[in-house]
Chain A
Amino acid sequence: DTGVSQDPRHKITKRGQNVTFRCDPISEHNRLYWYRQTLGQGPEFLTYFQNEAQLEKSRLLSDRFSAERPKGSFSTLEIQRTEQGDSAMYLCASTPGLAGKNEQFFGPGTRLTVL
């Protein structure tokens, strides 16, 4: 499967714990996005990378959230001191970043439940 992959698919944690999610984009896609989706809502933008550079962060991304893409390939999203309000589906998407190639391809998501 050459699509976007995410790991883990499900994560249950206790409030106050740290969690880290991984996203592997489609090979050679230089733009990578993180979104968060809660029940009954559309995905909301969190942050965006062009290669290894984090170019934009949403105000939704509090200080407890950090994302990296150290070699411009896979990315990690870490949430520190999780809160119940962090429970959501965390989606990763990638796109080639070429003119006229706008489609963002989404991974299957990581479903986080904070108890």
Chain B
Amino acid sequence: RKEVEQDPGPFNVPEGATVAFNCTYSNSASQSFFWYRQDCRKEPKLLMSVYSSGNEDGRFTAQLNRASQYISLLIRDSKLSDSATYLCVVKGGSARQLTFGSGTQLTVLP
């Protein structure tokens, strides 16, 4: 079983749609959680950190459920420029490195 599991998609949605991505992680000692965005043939870039209380950044909302070891990302009013691969990322309690899911591919259609 992978440490971080995501639905690979692809998700093809029309502009303006709301889309949700889910992720589960297996290491209950994990302490930090993130969503990274990766454009085609580019490096990953931090989209947002995920906090237990949930957090919002404009059209993006991230949620964390530690009991279920589940992380989500909601994108509202999707734009063409949101088309990318979204990577769920976990950092363990003692580990310094990031553990990435395989990514969920999103294409926003005009």
Q: Which residues of A are interface residues toward B (Cβ below 8 A)?
A: 31, 33, 35, 40-45, 48, 50, 55-56, 58, 91, 102-104, 106-109
Contacts and interface: CB of A to CB of B under 8 A. Distances in A.
Given A40-B8, A43-B44, A108-B43, 15 more contacts: A33-B97, A35-B97, A41-B102, A42-B100, A42-B102, A42-B103, A45-B98, A45-B99, A48-B96, A91-B43, A102-B32, A103-B46, A104-B46, A106-B43, A106-B44
5 contacts: A42-B100, A42-B101, A43-B87, A102-B32, A108-B42
Contacts of B43: 91, 106-109
Contacts of A102: 32, 34, 49, 91
Main secondary structure of the interface of B (DSSP, over half): strand
B45 interface: yes
A89 B100 CA distance: 15
